[in-house]
Amino acid sequence: MLLEILLYWLLLLAAAACVVAVSGRKRVASLIVLAPIVLFCTLLLMQTLSYKGQDANIGLGLTVFLIWAITALLFILAAVMWLLKRRNRSS
């Protein structure tokens, strides 16, 4: 479980780093926006680690799903920003 949570967190950090890398001159603004999102997701993942029960917990599953959704959205945002930046450069 610890390895899974660590992998989820590293993927989240990689997605946030992609958005920051693509943002260009607005890196500080993107860091200001992304820092609370990453902090919130980190707290959710730490809460998932602290759960000791053996039964199924729907809330923990939804938490992990939320982290995956946020990570996917950040990767999609980075890809769209990169494509728009590339298209503007070629015009």
Taking only the tens place, the pLDDT of each residue in 19-56 is 999 998 888 999 999 999 999 999 988 888 887 776 76
Token digits of residue 85: 């930046």
Looking at the chain, the whole-number percentage of residues with pLDDT higher than 70 is 96
The candidate with the shortest Cα–Cα distance to 82, out of 12, 34, 20, 28, is: 20
The number of beta carbons lying within 10 Å of the beta carbon of residue 90 is: 6
Return the percent helix, strand and coil in the chain, to nearest 5. Answer: 90, 0, 10
For position 59, what pLDDT does the model report? 79
CA distance 2 to 36: 23
More confident residue, 27 or 71: 71
